[in-house]
Every structure is written in C-alpha cells, then in structure tokens.
Structure 1
Amino acid sequence: MPSNAHEIPIEFVKNRPRFVMRLLEDVFDVALPRYDYADMASENCTKFKTANFYSDRVVALRRGSRVCMAVIAEVQRRRDKRKRYSWPVYLATVHENLKCPVLLLVFCPDEKTAVWARKPIELGQPGMRLVPFVVGPDQIPVVVSVEEARELPELAVLSALAHGGEEEKILVACAEGLNALGDEEFSVYHEYVVSALTGAARENWDALMADPTFTYRSDFARRYINEGKAEAKAEARAEAKAEARAEAKAEAVVAVLGHRGLHVSGEVEGRITACTDLDRLDTWMERAFSVDAAEDIFD
C-alpha cells in the first residue's frame, strides 16, 4: 500500500493543480504554454481503447545471450504527424522489453520526407528529445564493388535505386548482388528493382539483363529473366498488332468518306488517323456511310 509520503504530495496536486505549474516555472524554469486553467485528467496512462503499436522491424544486437543494443527500423514514405507520437512509444517499449539502449533508423525514399523525419521530436521533459537517424536518397552509399554487392545485396539494390542513373558500374554491382541470391529472393528483389527504376537507369538495367554475356547463377534466374523478356516481346507484338489494326481502320474511314465525295480536311483526317481506339473507329466507320459532312462522324 502506498505510504503517506507518496499519497500526500499526490493529494496536493489533486487539490491544487496550479501547484504543479508553479513548481515547474519557479523551480525548473520551464516555459509553459499559455493556458486558461489547469485541472485533473485521468491518471491512467493507457489509452481508453486498447491500441497496439508495431514498428516495421526491430534488430537485436546480441553479445552471447545478452542483447546489447536494439535498432528499430522504419520505412516512412510520406509525412505522417502521428509518427512523431508513436516513434517515442516504440523506443520506450523496446527499451523496456529488451532492457538495452535503442536506436531509431528511418528509411525515406525521397529527400523531402527525409527532411521532415529528421526534425527532433521534443518530448517535453528537459533533455529528452528524439532525433531519428534518417536515411534518404542522398545518404545511401554508392555500391560499385561486386564483392560488397554480393555480401549485402539489399544495400546494392538501394544504391541502384538512388544512384543507378549516374554510373553503369552501380547497376552491374546490383545485378551481381541479385545473382547471388536464392530463387525466391531473386524474384522479389528483381521485381522491386524493375518497378522502381526509371528513365535512363531503367533502360540501362534492361540492356544489362538482355546482355547475352551476363551469366546467371541459377537456371531459375535465367528462366525468370528470359520469361520476362518473352512476356515483354509478346506485349510489344500485341501492341504492334493493335496499332496496325487501328491504322488500317482509320485509313478505311477516310477512304469511305472520300469515296462518298465528302471533303475530308487535313484536320479531320489527322484526328481520324491519330485515333487508336478500335471501338471508336468502328463507330466512326458506321457514321461515315450516312453523314452529310466528314466532320459529322465525331458527333
């Protein structure tokens, strides 16, 4: 049971909440925000409705059977003011669970979000501020060593996404890093790289994957890449066929209008031949047999 030494000061606070404000201002020189009055709130520090907090990942650094440090790894894709309240909860909870120092590492895919995430989180208690370690695109190391890429393919992937447009060696290292993975990881990592690379980096990557001199570690990787090439070629052929059909239909629409003696201006012909929608061209073809003026097919 709590002693009087515990209960009486609590009673002071209950009876005169301003007592606490006075102590903070006079004893600890705390600059309080403007307020209208002070009253009591629930002393229950849990939420009224149970809430579970989950970080993305927690890495435990162990020395023998003892955890000597933990790192909370978070991925933050955009600003989210709620994180400025939940991140301190993550650290405090892991600190209590594992009984060790804890760091927060945040990965941000764009520099704008990274700048936001780096802002210190002031917890109010003097000396307590959380400054996350934030990894943005500018902080990703450049990996050009094949040996390093094979040892840490994840780092090689991040390097390729952040710097792949700068130097071909970066993409080569990434490819070699992926080539050292097992089948399941290879497919997942490769899809991630393909979906995230853009512009010149994507073109260079596709060229590298198509290079017949590149040796794939496993039959799976070779089949996976070849199947991807085959699918891409099939899609390209299908698109080419659709374009050819659209071009032929557009020419037919123009021919019908001309055969009926209607004047087809350059503007009308250009609009017809630029269309690739087969259904729309079918509609225009039906109208071409009955309209009084060429431009009426668009109505």
Structure 2
Amino acid sequence: MVSSSHEAMHRIFQDHPTLFSRISETLGIPFPSPTGISELPNDVTETKPVDRRIDTLLRIDTDSHGPFLLAVEAQKNKDPEKPASWGYYLAFLRNKYRLPPLLLVICQDRATAEWAARPDPIGFCSWPSLTVRPIVVGPDNLPVINDPAKVLEDVPLAALSTIVHGASPDIDGILKTMSTALQEAPEDVRNPVIEFIFQGLDKLPAAEIWRKLVVVDLSFYKSPLFQETRAEGKAEGVTERAAEDVLAVLDTRGVDVPEEARSRITDCDDPDVLRGWLRQAAVATSIDDVFRAE
C-alpha cells in the first residue's frame, strides 16, 4: 500500500510543477527555465499484463532547449528491483513521447538517497547500453530552511525540504519555522502545504509535533485531517486537551517531566498559559524552557 508520505513527496510537483527549477538550482544542476509545464498521464502499463505507473510525470517546455519529460519518484527505502523499473520508465517515455526524459528521485534518509544516486548500467560486461542515472534529492543535498522569511520566498520548496528532513533531529525547529511562516502565507498557498507536510511526515514522530503546531499557530485552518482533533478537544474540555497536548509534545521530544511539573500542567485552567507552554514545548530541551512562556 502506498503511504501518504510517498504521495506527498511526488504529488507536490503536480500542484507546484515549477518546483523542479528551484530544485535544479539548489543542487547546482543547470537546466533552462521552463516556459510551460503540463501534467501527463502517469500510466506506462504494457498492453498485457504488468501494471507500471510513474509517481508523477510532467512535460516541461523551455525556450532554449525545447521540451523534456520529468518523471518524479518518491523512494522511502532501498529496493533492488527499482532501478530496473526506472530504466523501463525512461526507455518507455523516450519511445512514446520522443522527448528526452529525466528521472528525479525524492528520499527522506541518507542511505536511501545514496543508494538511489548510484548509476545503474544496463548492458553486458563493460558495455552499458543504457545507464539509469537519476537526480536524487535527500537530506544531504536539500538545505534546511530555518528562516520564516526564506520560507515565504518559496513555500513549496520549503515544504519539500521539511518533508525530506522529517527524520532530522532538528525537525522540531524546522516545523516551528514553517508554522510561523505559514501564518503570513496566502490561504490558497498555506492550506495545501499544511496537508502536504502532514502527509509527508506520515508515521514519523514529527507528525505529532506538526499537528500540535497547526492546532496552536494555525488554529484558523480548517481541514478534515484536524477536525477530529478539535472535536475531541471540545468533548474533553479545552484546558484538559491543551494540557494533554503539552505533555504529548514533551514526551515526543524526550523531555523529562517531573511529577510536580506534570501536576502543574494538568491542573492549569488558563487556556492562554497552556497555549504558551505548548509553543515552548515544541522547541524545549528541559521543563524549565516550557515554563518560561508564563
């Protein structure tokens, strides 16, 4: 079954197809600026019987070098069968569209990115007839964006960076930067990005931190992903739920909470104080950091 994280890592290119231009600039790989982009069917199935689908397939037009095809694949882990599939995709696309194809692979961990980046020669002995050589994006070559102003300069790129760095030990600060910046972003940009990040983090511990930040910093945001959370909050009482959120974030971050501090949090009946504690909990390294918000 395809995970939501897998979907987010490639579908963001469907919503923001010009993102590839900034990716290539970031990686230092020169490509001409696009003059037009259109999404193509991702079905590369043979007449019988094997079903093959590229995650996302785009046609990108340029003035200086003409059009090319961009196949985007989200790769969660190493798969020894995948390079053969990628080779098939590239050959199929070249034959079907008569355009040069490029393969872009998005990874969330260094080991998978290093594996995906290795050229895979297809041939015999020392004569490769075809070499699969994808452009790979991973935590090592996609910079962290930790300045809200920089996030607002390119929100889709910042969102992809956040997803790629989802397992980073610094993810709490990265997410706080995103939630702070998105308060100033237009609604039509902000809302889909909130969803992409939530889906991209999937089952990582950072997903819980992101959920709490969205509830607190972006409380005006309406989404089916968060309606259940808010409904539970109303049923259990606003302050009780807020106290649980503070403790959940601290637990996720591994911050020790002595019994006295735990009682102080659960006994608090001031929503504003609890909201401040929750903001601090997202970046705290000790329980004292949390109570400074008061």
Instruction: State the TM-score, normalized to the length of structure 1.
Output: 0.48
Larger RCO (alpha carbons 8 Å, 6+ apart): 2
Higher fraction of strand: 2
TM-score between the two structures when normalised by the length of structure 2: 0.49
Q: Which of structures 1 and 2 has the bigger CA Rg?
A: 1
